[in-house]
């Protein structure tokens, strides 16, 4: 007669024994906070509203940019409620959040161009980085793209053509 706990038929195959359930209840994961999104009318940048009373910066709009913490202070109504609108900003329905801006599509085209330059053996062009470009250089890239090579121009045009519907061009 065996004494103690019987050996599970699951032993040795790396599967937990369903009979050996412990009453450890894992807490439900928290839902991310609902965000109210806005699009800047002048350039299409997305930002969300931050009204956390514990935030030392007070109420503000936070631009939706990777690895950048850019905050734009705002004023709440006298009663502390959120204003119905912000001058220069338009509320964005959740279903439209995935649309890209012209600047974001330009960054995609820039990264594709950089990869093509690597394959074509153009070391000067492939060492460029979008974040190190000046605002004027970024504007020129959005307007014209690469100017000296037809292969690079075709790639630039193909990237913008791919996202044409999203951009409403």
CA atoms of 153 and 169, how far apart (whole Å)? 18
Query: Each residue of 86-120: pLDDT tens digit?
Result: 777 777 765 555 667 788 899 999 999 999 998 98
DSSP state of 33: P
Mean pLDDT of the 116-141 span? 87
Mean pLDDT of the 22-44 span? 66
pLDDT greater than 60 at residue 24? no
Reference 49, options 63, 60, 34; nearest CA is 60
pTM exceeding the 0.95 threshold for the entire prediction: no
Determine which of 9-18, 69-78, 157-166 has the lowest per-residue pLDDT on average.
Answer: 9-18
């Amino acid at each position: 007669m065996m004494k103690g706990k019987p050996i599970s038929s699951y032993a040795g195959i790396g599967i937990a024994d369903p009979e050996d359930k412990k009453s450890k209840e894992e807490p439900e994961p928290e839902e991310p906070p609902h965000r109210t999104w806005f699009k800047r009318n002048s350039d299409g940048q997305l930002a969300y509203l931050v009204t956390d009373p514990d935030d030392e910066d007070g109420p503000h709009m936070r631009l939706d940019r990777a690895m950048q913490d850019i905050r734009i202070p705002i004023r709440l109504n006298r009663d502390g409620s959120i204003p119905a609108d912000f001058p220069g900003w338009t509320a964005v329905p959740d279903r439209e959040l995935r649309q890209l801006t012209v600047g974001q599509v330009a960054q995609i085209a820039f990264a594709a161009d950089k990869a093509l330059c690597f394959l074509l053996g153009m070391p000067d062009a492939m060492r460029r980085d979008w974040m190190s470009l000046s605002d004027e250089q970024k504007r020129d890239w959005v307007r014209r793209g690469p100017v000296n090579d037809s292969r690079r121009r075709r790639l630039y045009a193909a990237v913008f053509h791919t996202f044409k519907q999203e951009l409403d061009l």
